[in-house]
C-alpha cells in the first residue's frame, strides 16, 4: 500500500493558498491549509505533515521563521519549504540549502512569485539528499 504524503500549506494570500492546495491535491497529496501561524499550529495536534510550504511574512513579520522552527522541533522529518516576497521587495537574499548558520529552519527558500514546478523541483532535490 502506498502511503499518501500529507502537506500543510500556510499563507495569508488566499490565491496562493488555493492554487497550491489544488496543485498538490491533483498530484495525489493530502492537503490541509491555514491562513496564518496560529491556525497552522492548531492543526499540529491532529495532523502530522510530511511537507510544509510556509509563507515567511504573514500577520507578523517573523511568523514563517517561528512556524518553521516549531514544525522542525515537533516533526523533524517534515520537509519545510519557505516562500517569500522579501527578496523582491527589499533585495535581501536568504541563504539556500547551504545555510551553515542553521538559523533558518527550512529545507529550501523560494522567492515569490513561485510556480508549482519550482516547489516540485525543490522537493525532488531534498528527497534525493
Average the pLDDT over 27-52 and give the result: 95
Q: Is position 59 within any domain?
A: yes
Average the pLDDT over 37-64 and give the result: 92
Residue whose entry in the numeric block shows the C-alpha cell 514563517: 64
Mean pLDDT of the residues in the chain: 86
Q: Is position 1 within any domain?
A: no
Q: Is position 63 within any domain?
A: yes
Task: Grade residue 104 by pLDDT with cuts at 50, 70 and 90.
Answer: low
Residue 44's region, left for phi above 0, alpha for psi from -120 to 50, else beta, is: alpha
Report how many domains make up the chain.
Answer: 1
Which is nearest to 79 in space by CA: 26, 129, 11?
Answer: 129
Q: Is position 113 within any domain?
A: yes
Domain that holds residue 111: 6-127
CATH of the domain at 19: 3.40.50.2300
Q: Is position 116 within any domain?
A: yes
66 pLDDT higher than 60: yes
Give the whole-angstrom CA distance, residue 74 versus residue 120. 24
Packed helices 116-127 and 14-26: angle between N→C axes, nearest 10 degrees: 60
Is the Cβ–Cβ distance between 81 and 122 less than 8 Å?
yes
CA atoms within 13 A on the CB side of 129: 12
Amino acid at each position: 500500500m502506498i502511503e499518501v504524503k500529507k502537506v500543510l500549506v500556510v499563507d495569508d494570500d488566499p490565491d496562493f493558498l488555493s492554487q497550491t492546495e489544488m496543485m498538490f491535491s491533483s498530484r495525489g497529496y493530502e492537503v490541509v491549509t491555514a491562513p496564518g501561524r496560529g491556525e497552522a499550529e492548531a492543526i499540529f495536534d491532529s495532523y502530522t505533515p510530511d511537507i510544509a510550504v510556509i509563507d515567511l511574512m504573514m500577520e507578523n513579520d517573523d511568523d514563517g521563521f517561528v512556524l518553521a522552527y516549531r514544525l522542525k522541533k515537533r516533526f523533524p522529518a517534515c520537509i519545510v519549504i519557505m516562500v517569500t516576497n522579501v527578496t523582491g521587495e527589499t533585495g535581501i537574499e536568504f541563504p539556500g540549502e547551504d545555510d551553515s548558520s542553521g538559523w533558518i529552519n527550512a529545507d529550501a527558500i523560494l522567492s515569490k512569485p513561485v510556480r508549482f514546478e519550482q516547489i516540485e523541483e525543490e522537493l525532488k532535490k531534498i528527497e534525493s539528499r
